[in-house]
Chains A and B, each alone.
Chain A
């Protein structure tokens, strides 16, 4: 059964006010197209979970979609802070934003526990730090097999996880390569999964390389085909990280007025990703293509009858 639908329909059907939403992807494969559609549909009171809120949550927070962030690293990598989020946190401007903070390994462990139906995930972290004081959900736990104490984090089960990938078939069997972050864990932990891909492929393409399938269609609710849907994030082998935009955002987000003007122009002012890409222009898009090809060698799975 085909699950292919428009971004508008996928978000309308799967993202509701008050939901816990995870648009994952660690620097790579961050689905800005889905975040922008959530802004356009004026969803409210969301709890936004991501290891690195990145520009996408800075934009979603600025647009008023969120009441809470669950995260582990709150910055614009190599550039600086996330100013819209900082205004909410430091000055409650225009309203406070609740924070629930972990480390990267803690967040990865939370998704892993959520995906595995476990009550907690144990890890060797947080010893002698102030993080368990800042977040009482990070708790010490004694090993049942000895004297050792480790820390535990609770499962994270998003209402909906959005995963961007290179390709999927119509059923939602999804393949990706490059940095995988914790997209798989976040998808398996979620109640509903939206997969957004650069390319829709035949089932035979998926079956020809089953090791590359990260998310099975079994857990996927919607498949959206949205080329360039991760920009200004990137897709390995397809387009580069738009570092110029990551730097530009630092100036845009410093003032509430310029942030809103940007949202008006680039999110509310376009009907969807296709129009955004058109507005971005062919020159900018071409400048982000890889400077050459680096294909993997192929492997032989063999035929066994």
Chain B
């Protein structure tokens, strides 16, 4: 394998920027930082519950200061003064640009085409970025009943592009998802593009998946491709935690380690209790 190059904010090269040694940060911190950097240059982001919440808030404080945070609870242009546990919290209201009803949010802002990035988490994902957040097992007799769509289904269809953040494991990165809650590239890019056009979807689907081990984008066939591996992670670990034989970019980049400032923001300001980073 060729010498790995560093991927900095936005996925570009950032060799020479100081970063922490791999031992000095957790895999979750690396994942959150990498996801936040992907938001550089974006304008309007629809924030999902859980990991997207902290990643998007880190982006607002670092690479994307003009990012408008949209919470499905009805806040547009939120400037939370603390990291909300829930996506509905009084801190996302105080100081926001606008507070609107959920009808307006989903009809005018999302379905109207104003959301650049929908940021989702998931329980299961397949190689084409199709997402399950509904059930593990059979729908009528589930092994595990998960929360369900919430807004994810319409976000996946109407946001201009979709970012996904989730930890990698054989149970979550699967050959076949048990239930399709949110469509990705369906069975491949060509068919997905045709269906999106015919059915009038505004979104072009998933564009990035950030995990605790690496960063994936989607190639021309619509399949996930590992483009950057996080410092400390190995290709063996990647393959051991994915339910198919993953495509790997050549050359494969190495994600730049979190900077001291990114780590400080996560540890001191965004998640002092370690709820997301344990």
B86 on the A face (CB < 8 A): yes
Contact of B200 among A90, A124, A134 (CB under 8 A): A124
In Å, the complex CA distance between A127 and B181 comes to 10
Known A-B contacts A73-B147, A128-B195, A182-B103; A27 and B142 likewise in contact (beta carbons under 8 Å): no
CB pair A73–B90 under 8 Å, yes or no, is: no
- Report which of A73, A108, A290 forms a contact with B106, defined as CB distance below 8 A: A108
CA distance A73 to B86 in the complex (A): 13
A240 in the interface (beta carbon within 8 A)? yes
Q: Of B90, B99, B100, which is in contact with the most chain A CB atoms at under 10 Å from its CB?
A: B90
* B73 close to A130 (CB less than 8 A): no
Return the CB mask of A53-97 against B: 1 if under 8 Å, else 0.
Answer: 000000000000000000111110111010001100110000000
Q: Are A71 and B200 CB-contacts (below 8 A) given A125-B157, A243-B85? A: no
Is residue B97 contacting chain A, with contact meaning CB distance below 8 A?
no
Using Cβ atoms and an 8 Å threshold, which residues of chain A touch B195?
127-128
Q: Which of A163-171, A173-181, A271-279 contacts B (4 or more CB under 8 A)?
A: A173-181
B129 lies within 8 A of chain A by Cβ:
no
Contact of B95 among A126, A290, A294 (CB under 8 A): A294
B interface, over-half SS: loop
Query: Within the assembled complex, what's the spacing in Å between the Cα atoms of A148 and B94?
Result: 40
Chain A residues 194 to 251 lying within 8 A of chain B, measured CB to CB, are: 234, 236-237, 240-241, 243, 246
Closest to B150 in A: A73
Complex Cα gap A28–B72 (Å)? 13
B residues 206-254 touching A (CB-CB < 8 Å): none
Tell whether A77 pairs with B111 under 8 Å between CB atoms, given A105-B151, A148-B200, A185-B103.
Answer: no
> In whole angstroms, what is the CA distance A277 to B195 when docked?
54
- State whether A75 and B147 are in contact (beta carbons under 8 Å apart), knowing that A178-B99, A182-B103 are contacts in the complex: yes
**Cβ contact within 8 Å between B154 and A105:** yes
Whole-angstrom distance between the Cβ of A178 and the nearest chain B Cβ: 5
Contact at A124–B74, with CB atoms within 8 Å?
no
Q: Which residues in B have their C-beta under 8 angstroms from that of A290? A: 90
A94 to chain B, nearest CB (A): 16
Q: Does B180 contact A (CB under 8 A)?
A: yes
The reply to whether A181 and B157 contact each other, CB–CB distance below 8 Å, is no
Residues of B within 8 A of A78 (CB): 49-50, 53, 84-87, 275
State whether B87 touches A182 (Cβ < 8 A).
Answer: no
Q: Out of B90, B106, B145, which one reaches A89, CB within 8 Å?
A: B145
Q: Is B86 a contact partner of A86 (Cβ separation < 8 A)?
A: no
**Are A180 and B74 in contact, with the CB atoms below 8 A?**
yes
Q: Is the CB of B148 within 8 A of A90?
A: no
A189–B256 alpha-carbon span in the complex (Å): 53
Assembly CA distance A294 to B186 (angstroms): 47
Interface size class of A (residues with CB under 8 A): 35 or more
Please give the distance in Å from B116's CB to the nearest CB on chain A: 17
* Contact digits for B57-88, partner A, Cβ 8 Å, 1 yes 0 no: 00000000000000011110000000011111
Report B130-169 CB contacts with A as 1/0, cut-off 8 Å. 0000100001001111111111111001100000000000
Can you list, as one digit per residue, whether each of B170-182 has a CB less than 8 Å from chain A (1) or not (0)? 0000000001111
Is B101 an interface residue when CB atoms closer than 8 A count as contact? yes
Interface centre among A101, A104, A240 (most CB of B within 10 A): A104
Q: Decide if A234 touches B182 in the complex (CB within 8 Å).
A: no
Q: Are A179 and B88 in contact (CB under 8 A)?
A: yes
Cα distance A71–B181 in the bound complex, in angstroms: 14
B102 at the interface (CB under 8 A from A): yes
Question: How close is B55's CB to chain A, nearest CB, in angstroms?
Answer: 14
CB atoms of A81 and B73 under 8 A apart: no
Q: Closest CB of chain A to B217's CB: distance in Å?
A: 21
Beyond A77-B85, A129-B183, whether A181 also contacts B74 by CB under 8 A is: yes
A47 at interface, CB cutoff 8 A = no
* 25 A-B pairs whose Cβ atoms sit less than 8 Å apart in the complex: A27-B89, A72-B148, A73-B148, A75-B147, A78-B49, A78-B85, A81-B146, A103-B152, A124-B154, A124-B158, A124-B201, A125-B157, A125-B158, A127-B157, A130-B134, A130-B180, A131-B149, A134-B139, A149-B199, A178-B93, A179-B74, A180-B101, A182-B102, A185-B103, A237-B90
User: What 9 pairs across the A-B complex have the smallest Cβ distances?
Assistant: A27-B88, A73-B150, A75-B147, A77-B86, A125-B154, A78-B85, A103-B149, A105-B106, A128-B183
